């Protein structure tokens, strides 16, 4: 299995607590948050990851180098912010096979990657999305799901419990190749939302540990969800 990790975020909303680091390098339980993500990939048997980096990427490369726990690391560097889709398109040049997992570098999700891959293949879809149920969807926006297919996206601000996009995709590279190269592009807003009826993405449900460190309050909460010895606390959930 191979993954693209979107690690180029500016971390604007975290500047008050992490002023001098790219968001994936924000320390959580004494380690860069990206290390927790790479640990999960290594544990799941990944052998290669493309780190899509931008802001202060030198610090990420200096820390992790060319490999981490048996996972080969390759760097796709964007000179200017390209958005999620633009970063995926640029990283595609370093991807060796299809489909490829894509992960958000500011989100940790304990998901069964092998099962997600098998389900993706069995349903012969171009895109699978890991989804998790949370008690309050207002920060994220929620998903409309029918027969394990995503059929709609509800804007942020909706209240109550529901399923959300958990920030892990399995996507055929042909779909990524259709994204305009070298230009800012949102995978979610410019591809997934307008094409949901034809794409019919597969919703892969998981109840594993989920945490998004994008805002200060959740970043602080993440400190208590991980063990400083290097083991995620599997029995606790940040948003359930």
Mind listing the pLDDT tens digit for each residue in 4-34?
Answer: 999 987 656 676 666 677 888 889 998 999 9
Q: Count Cβ neighbours within 10 Å for each residue of 119-147 and write b for 16 or more, e otherwise.
A: bbeeeebbbbbbbbbbeebeebbbbebee
- Residue 5: phi and psi, rounded to 5, are -110, 120
Mind listing the pLDDT tens digit for each residue in 204-236?
Answer: 999 988 998 888 888 888 888 887 665 555 443
Mind listing the pLDDT tens digit for each residue in 176-195?
Answer: 999 999 999 999 999 999 99
Q: Is the model more confident about 91 or about 233?
A: 91
Say whether pTM exceeds 0.85. Answer: yes
Is the pLDDT assigned to residue 239 strictly greater than 50?
Answer: no
Mind listing the pLDDT tens digit for each residue in 26-73?
Answer: 899 989 999 999 999 999 999 999 999 988 889 899 999 999 999 999
**Pick from 138, 144, 142, 134: which is nearest to 157 by CA?**
138
Any bridge partners for residue 29, and if so which?
Answer: none
138 Cβ contact partners less than 8 Å away, ≥ 6 residues apart: 156, 157, 158, 159
- For 198-220, give the secondary structure using H, E and C: HHCCEEEECCCCEEECCCHHHHH
CA distances from 76 to 44, 57, 83, 161, 178 (A): 22, 10, 13, 36, 18
- Residues labelled as active-site residues: 156
Any bridge partners for residue 49, and if so which?
Answer: 3, 73
Distance of alpha carbon 56 from alpha carbon 110, whole angstroms: 27
Distance of alpha carbon 109 from alpha carbon 132, whole angstroms: 9
Mean pLDDT, residues 91-109 taken together: 95
With left for phi above 0 and alpha for psi between -120 and 50, is residue 85 left, alpha or beta?
A: alpha
Give the DSSP H/E element, type plus range, for residue 177: helix 173-177
Distance of alpha carbon 223 from alpha carbon 213, whole angstroms: 10
Distance of alpha carbon 105 from alpha carbon 154, whole angstroms: 23
235 HSE (CA, 13 A, CB side): 0
Is the pLDDT assigned to residue 163 strictly greater than 90?
Answer: yes
Question: Which two tokens mark 84?
Answer: 């999620």
């Amino acid at each position: 299995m191979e993954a693209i990790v979107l690690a180029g975020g500016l971390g604007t909303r975290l500047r008050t607590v992490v002023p001098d680091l790219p968001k994936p390098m924000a320390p959580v339980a004494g380690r860069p948050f990206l290390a927790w993500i790479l640990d999960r990939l290594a544990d799941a048997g990944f052998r290669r990851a493309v780190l899509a980096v931008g802001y202060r990427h030198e610090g990420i490369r200096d820390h992790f180098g060319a490999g981490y726990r048996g996972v080969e690391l390759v760097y796709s560097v964007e000179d200017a912010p390209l958005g999620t889709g633009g970063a995926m398109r640029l990283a595609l040049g370093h991807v060796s096979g299809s489909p490829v997992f894509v992960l958000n570098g500011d989100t940790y999700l304990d998901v069964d990657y092998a099962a997600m891959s098998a389900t993706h293949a069995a349903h012969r879809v171009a895109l699978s999305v890991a989804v998790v149920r949370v008690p309050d969807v207002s920060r994220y926006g929620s998903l409309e799901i029918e027969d394990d297919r995503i059929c709609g996206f509800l804007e942020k601000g909706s209240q109550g419990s529901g399923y959300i996009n958990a920030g892990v995709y399995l996507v055929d590279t042909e779909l990524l190749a259709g994204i305009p190269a070298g230009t800012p592009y949102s995978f979610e807003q410019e591809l997934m939302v307008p094409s949901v009826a034809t794409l019919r993405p597969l919703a892969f449900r998981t109840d594993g540990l989920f945490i998004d460190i994008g805002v200060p309050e959740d970043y602080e909460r993440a400190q208590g969800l991980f063990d400083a010895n290097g083991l995620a606390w599997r029995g606790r959930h940040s948003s359930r």
